[in-house]
């Protein structure tokens, strides 16, 4: 692989760090570990496989046809259903943007003890400045690589030397823990699944592939990004779940704050570990804030066929950039109302789960269309896996809202 | 696919809602609707133009939603100065996108883009630059 | 537009579920289970603060971080307690339950407040002095939970 191709790897790493490990995954995995131990670990594994299958398809479609995901949504679902899809996808992505911006601010609060509300406007401005001025590839590299600091969570878990046999037993023998109802367990499972497969990950991944001008020659790169990046993100998520399962569960602590996600690493590795985990959380949420802010605008621009992206100067993608500004400004204002960021995060991932089929069905359809794909249509493996996941996505989507109401959002 | 044989296209699947690019491959709106004309000899209708722009989209959405969209766009947005029609003869190729032999600035979707550019985006410093260390 | 309607429904669901319903208890069993949940929330806060204090006193965490964790624990505990106190006890037996829990939670919130003050001053000895009381409160809450589950 030549250096340029190697550098292209960072797209995958960023999407894994910022897209996979973002505020949603941090909150969902920390909460689940503290409450259910490792008994929902299989959902993370299943979710990682799912995002791999569909991100690979989306990346391949983008590389071969030059068309990002929301182009396909409009093209396959038509103007009307596509518009309904746009409303839902935008809403979920926007909710995630609020959560990520607040997440960055919370990470800054952890380092400074300055209230996160004071950081929110600054974070909003910084995110905008980077989108306005900094080149796509540089943006990825900085946050992708800094986000790797979260590997410290895996080191921390190893340092705590938990009862590995017990953790694996919990993971291999998923059972409803004492005092918990099946619906609550299912609700948390759905939250984890939604966090793993959040739609903006493929909006961003495929749009990024178009921005980086991927072509057929980049298909290997696509595979490498997807099958290294996302599993790495999944590994870090499971490390966090293991940490809270080890440190919090025996003490009957429930996770309600981002600070609690950093606490076990501090216990295990001291100040250096704590510093790294805070830097990692900052980078992962900041990367995700960039991705979601861009994705809000990608979806709308791609539906209406406006010039989008960072390849051109902002003046040549005026509507695209205006939308980024409006989305960020609204997210900052909503964040400033003091709405609980963790609660926003929970809703964003659960509603993501409900919206999953809207994004993934068109991808599967187009990945099989020779008109777009030539001979690069899905192979049998992709189609079998895609179809299995499709059934799961539809079922998850159908039960999410009723389950949310029945369990009082998992309380 | 050759555009000279439009009757062979499955319009709904292969033409409608696709991305339009102009002669320099720049993004230039969507195929929001099609103009069909019945030939004088009573044969099957043929596509004579692609319709693109919010007027065409609102019409296509139809119903209450379409009317609301149309009313909103008339109230809030500058009037389309350009025609939303792209003559079928200007269609160069149809693939994952529809290439037309036009300049995107003369297409209907350019009106709002221009308005947003002059009203907001151009007033922010750095709007004309492509991002630091972009390949020129 | 059924999808649009669904999206609207979701918005309504999200906004309404953000508002906590005012607590009511139908009978003693219901009241008791609410008391137990409150004790669990407070216990979680006390234990979290305990871990943070431990990390802080052993120089394993920055003072700012300890302050944030303890501050959040304190406000969680206070919120849980005030939520419970707003519930009308259904009968005389439940009054005793209320007093019993009230004593424990008052103690917990006092200690958490002291801990927060010590953490903000970043004085290790002050912080160390909180370790014992935090543990004792946790024990008290734990036996209350065991008694009522």
> What does the DSSP assignment read for A172-237?
HS--PPTT--HHHHHHHHHHHHHHHS-THHHHHHHHHHHHTT--GGGHHHHHHIIIIIHHHHHHHH
pLDDT in tens, A217-247: 888 888 888 888 899 999 999 999 999 999 9
Average confidence (pLDDT) over B85-109: 90
Which 3 state secondary structure label does DSSP give B110? helix
Q: A117 to chain C: which residues are within 8 Å by CB?
A: none
A1 versus A96: which is more confidently predicted? A96
| CB proximity A231 to B under 8 Å | no
Given strand B97-100, what is the order of strands in its sheet? Answer: B27-30, B19-21, B97-100, B91-94
Average confidence (pLDDT) over A111-127: 96
Average confidence (pLDDT) over A278-302: 95
Question: Tokens 């400033």 sit at which residue?
Answer: A336
Count of CB atoms within 10 A of residue A312's CB?
17
Average confidence (pLDDT) over A297-311: 93
On average, the pLDDT of chain C sits at 87
Cβ within 8 Å, pair C4-A351: no
Q: B28 to chain A: which residues are within 8 Å by CB?
A: 305
Q: How far apart are CA B48 and CA A232, in angstroms?
A: 52
The per-residue pLDDT for C9 is 55
Rg (CA), chain C: 19
Q: How far apart are CA C101 and CA B33, in angstroms?
A: 68
State the best of C1, C6, C10 to mutate against chain A, taking most chain A CBs within 10 Å.
C10
| CB proximity C137 to A under 8 Å | no
pLDDT band at B41; cut points 50, 70, 90: confident
Cβ within 8 Å, pair B117-A310: no
Average confidence (pLDDT) over C88-113: 93
The per-residue pLDDT for A4 is 62
Q: A339 to chain C: which residues are within 8 Å by CB?
A: 18
Q: How far apart are CA C137 and CA C131, in angstroms?
A: 10
Average confidence (pLDDT) over A285-294: 94
Give pairs for C98-103: CB < 8 Å, separation 24+: C98/C35, C100/C144, C101/C35, C101/C38, C101/C39, C101/C144
The per-residue pLDDT for B3 is 46
pLDDT band at A310; cut points 50, 70, 90: confident
| CB proximity C126 to A under 8 Å | no
- Asked if residue A74 has pLDDT above 70, the reply is yes
Contact A22, A102 (CB under 8 A): no
Q: How far apart are CA C107 and CA C101, in angstroms?
A: 10
- Asked if residue A248 has pLDDT above 90, the reply is yes
Q: How far apart are CA A61 and CA A71, in angstroms?
A: 11
Angle at B24 between CA B136 and CA B94, to 5 degrees: 135
Rg (CA), chain B: 17
Burial of A394 from C-beta contacts in 10 A (0-12 / 13-18 / 19+) = middle
Burial of A107 from C-beta contacts in 10 A (0-12 / 13-18 / 19+) = buried
CA torsion sign for B76, B81, B84, B90 is negative
What DSSP line would sit under C120-142, residue for residue? HHT-HHHHHTTHHHHHHHHHHHH
What is the percent of chain A with per-residue pLDDT over 90, rounded to a whole number?
76
pLDDT in tens, A12-64: 666 666 568 899 999 999 999 999 999 999 999 999 999 999 999 999 999 99
The per-residue pLDDT for A300 is 97
Given strand B46-51, what is the order of strands in its sheet? Answer: B33-37, B46-51, B85-87
- Give partners of B (≥3 CB pairs < 8 A): A
Average confidence (pLDDT) over B77-106: 86
* Side-chain half-sphere CA neighbours of B78 within 13 A: 15
Which 3 state secondary structure label does DSSP give A306? coil
Cβ within 8 Å, pair A314-B121: yes
Strands B97-100 and B19-21, sheet pairing: parallel
On average, the pLDDT of chain B sits at 82
Contact B57, A79 (CB under 8 A): yes
Tokens linked to A11: 């797209």
pLDDT band at B135; cut points 50, 70, 90: very low
Tokens linked to A275: 């510093």
The per-residue pLDDT for A365 is 92
On average, the pLDDT of chain A sits at 91
Average confidence (pLDDT) over C56-73: 95
What is the percent of chain A with per-residue pLDDT over 70, rounded to a whole number?
95
State the best of A314, A321, A325, A363 to mutate against chain B, taking most chain B CBs within 10 Å.
A314
β-partners of residue A66 are none
Of the candidates C3, C13, C67, which has its C-beta nearest A113's C-beta? C67
Contact A61, A366 (CB under 8 A): yes
* Side-chain half-sphere CA neighbours of A297 within 13 A: 25
Q: How far apart are CA A221 and CA A67, in angstroms?
A: 17
Average confidence (pLDDT) over A135-164: 90
pLDDT in tens, A174-192: 877 777 788 899 999 999 9
Contact B28, B20 (CB under 8 A): yes
| CB proximity A80 to B under 8 Å | yes
Q: How far apart are CA B50 and CA B16, in angstroms?
A: 9
Burial A62-100 (b: 16+ CB within 10 A, else e): bbbbbbbbbbbbbbbbbbbbbbbbbbbbbbbbbbbbbbb
- Asked if residue A368 has pLDDT above 50, the reply is yes
Of the candidates A74, A80, A315, which has its C-beta nearest B121's C-beta? A315
Count of CB atoms within 10 A of residue A1's CB?
11
Cβ within 8 Å, pair C65-A110: yes
| Torsion (CA) A71, A77, A81, A83 in degrees, nearest 10 | 10
| CB proximity C48 to A under 8 Å | yes
Average confidence (pLDDT) over A95-123: 97
Contact B47, B35 (CB under 8 A): yes
Q: A6 CA to chain B: closest CA distance, Å?
A: 18
Task: Nearest chain A residue to C9 by CA: give it.
Answer: A401
Task: Nearest chain B residue to A372 by CA: give it.
Answer: B96
| CB proximity A354 to C under 8 Å | yes
Q: How far apart are CA A257 and CA A238, in angstroms?
A: 18
| CB proximity C64 to A under 8 Å | yes
- Asked if residue C146 has pLDDT above 70, the reply is yes
- Mean pLDDT is lowest, of A125-139, A165-179, A232-246, A271-285, for A165-179
Of the candidates B19, B20, B60, which has its C-beta nearest A67's C-beta? B19
Tokens linked to A192: 């984890």
- Asked if residue A336 has pLDDT above 60, the reply is yes
Q: B29 to chain A: which residues are within 8 Å by CB?
A: 304-306
Q: A277 to chain C: which residues are within 8 Å by CB?
A: none
Q: Which residue, A222, A208, A207, is CA-closest to A299?
A: A207
| CB proximity C124 to A under 8 Å | no
The per-residue pLDDT for C20 is 43
Contact A35, A176 (CB under 8 A): no
Q: A319 to chain B: which residues are within 8 Å by CB?
A: 112-113, 116
The per-residue pLDDT for C23 is 62
Cβ within 8 Å, pair C68-A247: no
What is the percent of chain B with per-residue pLDDT over 90, rounded to a whole number?
34
Of the candidates B18, B122, B132, which has its C-beta nearest A134's C-beta? B132
Q: How far apart are CA A276 and CA C61, in angstroms?
A: 12
End-to-end CA distance of chain B: 33
Q: How far apart are CA C73 and CA C49, in angstroms?
A: 6
| Torsion (CA) A119, A124, A125, A127 in degrees, nearest 10 | 120
Average confidence (pLDDT) over A126-151: 88
Of the candidates C1, C68, C142, which has its C-beta nearest A259's C-beta? C68
The per-residue pLDDT for C80 is 96
| CB proximity A257 to C under 8 Å | yes
Cβ within 8 Å, pair C62-A343: no
Average confidence (pLDDT) over B62-69: 86
- Asked if residue A197 has pLDDT above 60, the reply is yes
Average confidence (pLDDT) over B34-41: 86
- Asked if residue A362 has pLDDT above 70, the reply is yes
Of the candidates B19, B112, B122, which has its C-beta nearest A315's C-beta? B122
Burial of A366 from C-beta contacts in 10 A (0-12 / 13-18 / 19+) = buried
Q: A359 CA to chain C: closest CA distance, Å?
A: 14
Q: How far apart are CA A187 and CA A284, in angstroms?
A: 25
The per-residue pLDDT for C22 is 45
**ipTM > 0.85 for the complex:** yes
Of the candidates C11, C40, C55, which has its C-beta nearest A267's C-beta? C55
pLDDT in tens, C105-136: 999 999 999 999 999 998 889 999 999 999 99
- Asked if residue A170 has pLDDT above 60, the reply is yes
Q: C39 to chain A: which residues are within 8 Å by CB?
A: none
Of the candidates B14, B112, B120, which has its C-beta nearest A371's C-beta? B14
| CB proximity B15 to A under 8 Å | no
> Helices (H) and strands (E) in chain B — how many of each?
4, 7
The per-residue pLDDT for B132 is 53
Cβ within 8 Å, pair A408-C17: yes
pLDDT band at C5; cut points 50, 70, 90: low
The per-residue pLDDT for B1 is 44
| CB proximity A374 to C under 8 Å | no
Which 3 state secondary structure label does DSSP give B35? strand
pLDDT band at C10; cut points 50, 70, 90: low
Q: Which residue, A233, A283, A223, A195, is CA-closest to A16?
A: A233
pLDDT in tens, B6-26: 445 667 678 899 999 999 999
The per-residue pLDDT for A243 is 98
The per-residue pLDDT for A5 is 62
The per-residue pLDDT for B2 is 44
Fill in the DSSP letter of residue B53: S
Contact A33, A249 (CB under 8 A): yes
| CB proximity B67 to A under 8 Å | no
Fill in the DSSP letter of residue A15: I
- Asked if residue A1 has pLDDT above 60, the reply is no
Question: Tokens 């998923």 sit at which residue?
Answer: A174
Q: C65 to chain A: which residues are within 8 Å by CB?
A: 110-111, 113, 259, 262, 266, 274, 278
Of the candidates B12, B29, B131, which has its C-beta nearest A134's C-beta? B131
């Amino acid at each position: 692989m030549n250096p340029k191709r190697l550098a292209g790897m960072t797209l995958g790493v960023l999407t894994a760090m910022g897209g996979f490990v973002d505020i949603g995954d941090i909150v969902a995995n920390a909460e689940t570990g503290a409450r259910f131990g490792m008994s929902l670990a299989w959902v993370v594994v299943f979710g990682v496989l799912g995002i791999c299958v569909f991100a690979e398809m989306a990346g391949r479609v983008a590389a071969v046809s030059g068309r990002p995901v929301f182009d396909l949504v409009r093209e396959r679902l038509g103007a009307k259903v596509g518009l309904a899809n746009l409303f839902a996808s935008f809403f979920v992505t926007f909710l995630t943007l609020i959560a990520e911006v607040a997440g960055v601010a919370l990470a800054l609060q952890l380092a400074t003890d300055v209230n996160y509300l004071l950081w929110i406007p600054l974070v909003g401005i910084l995110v905008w400045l980077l989108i306005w001025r900094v080149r796509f590839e540089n943006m990825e590299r900085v946050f992708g690589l800094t986000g790797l600091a979260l590997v410290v969570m895996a080191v921390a878990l190893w340092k705590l030397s938990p009862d590995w046999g017990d953790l694996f037993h919990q993971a291999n023998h998923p059972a409803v823990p004492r005092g918990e109802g099946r619906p609550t367990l299912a609700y948390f499972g759905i939250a984890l699944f939604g966090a793993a497969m959040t739609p903006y990950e493929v909006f961003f991944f495929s749009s990024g592939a178009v921005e980086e001008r991927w072509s057929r020659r980049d298909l290997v790169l696509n595979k490498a990004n997807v099958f290294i990046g996302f599993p790495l993100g999944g590994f870090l998520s499971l490390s966090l779940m293991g940490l809270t399962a080890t440190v919090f569960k025996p003490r009957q602590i429930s996770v309600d704050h981002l600070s609690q996600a950093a606490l076990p690493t501090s216990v295990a590795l001291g100040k250096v570990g704590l510093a790294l985990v805070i830097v990692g959380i900052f980078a992962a949420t900041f990367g995700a804030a960039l991705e979601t802010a861009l994705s809000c605008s990608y979806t709308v621009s791609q539906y209406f066929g406006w010039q989008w992206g960072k390849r051109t100067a902002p003046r040549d993608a005026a509507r695209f950039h205006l939308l980024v500004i409006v989305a960020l400004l609204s997210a900052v204002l909503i964040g400033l109302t003091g709405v609980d960021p963790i609660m926003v995060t929970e809703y964003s991932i659960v509603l993501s789960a409900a919206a999953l089929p809207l994004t993934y069905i068109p991808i599967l359809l187009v990945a099989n269309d020779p008109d777009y794909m030539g001979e690069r249509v899905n192979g049998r493996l992709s189609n079998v896996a895609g179809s299995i996941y499709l059934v799961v996505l539809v079922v998850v989507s159908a039960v999410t809202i009723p389950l949310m109401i029945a369990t009082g959002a998992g309380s | 696919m050759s555009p000279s044989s439009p009757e062979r296209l499955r319009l709904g699947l292969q033409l409608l809602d696709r991305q339009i690019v102009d002669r320099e491959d720049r993004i230039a709106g969507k195929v929001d609707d099609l103009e069909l004309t019945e030939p004088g000899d009573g044969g099957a209708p043929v596509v004579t133009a692609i319709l693109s722009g919010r007027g065409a989209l609102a019409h296509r959405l139809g119903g209450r939603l379409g009317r609301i969209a149309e009313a909103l766009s008339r109230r809030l947005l500058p009037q389309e100065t350009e025609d939303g029609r792209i003559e079928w003869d200007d269609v160069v190729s149809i693939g994952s996108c529809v290439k037309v032999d036009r300049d995107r600035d003369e297409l209907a979707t350019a009106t709002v883009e221009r308005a947003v550019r002059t009203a907001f985006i151009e007033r922010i410093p750095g709007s004309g630059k492509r991002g630091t260390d972009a390949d020129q | 537009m059924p999808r649009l309607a669904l999206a609207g429904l979701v918005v309504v669901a999200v906004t309404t579920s953000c508002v906590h319903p005012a607590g009511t208890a139908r009978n003693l069993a219901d009241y008791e289970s609410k008391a137990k949940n409150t004790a669990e929330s407070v216990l979680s806060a006390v234990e979290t603060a305990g871990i943070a204090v431990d990390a802080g006193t052993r120089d394993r965490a920055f003072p700012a971080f300890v302050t944030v964790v303890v501050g959040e624990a304190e406000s969680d505990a206070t919120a849980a307690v005030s939520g419970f106190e707003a519930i009308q006890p259904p009968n005389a037996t439940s009054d005793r339950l209320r007093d019993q829990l009230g004593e424990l939670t008052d103690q917990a919130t006092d200690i958490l407040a002291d801990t927060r003050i010590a953490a903000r001053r970043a004085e290790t000895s002050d912080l160390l002095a909180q370790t014992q009381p935090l543990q004792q409160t946790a024990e008290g809450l734990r036996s209350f939970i065991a008694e009522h589950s």
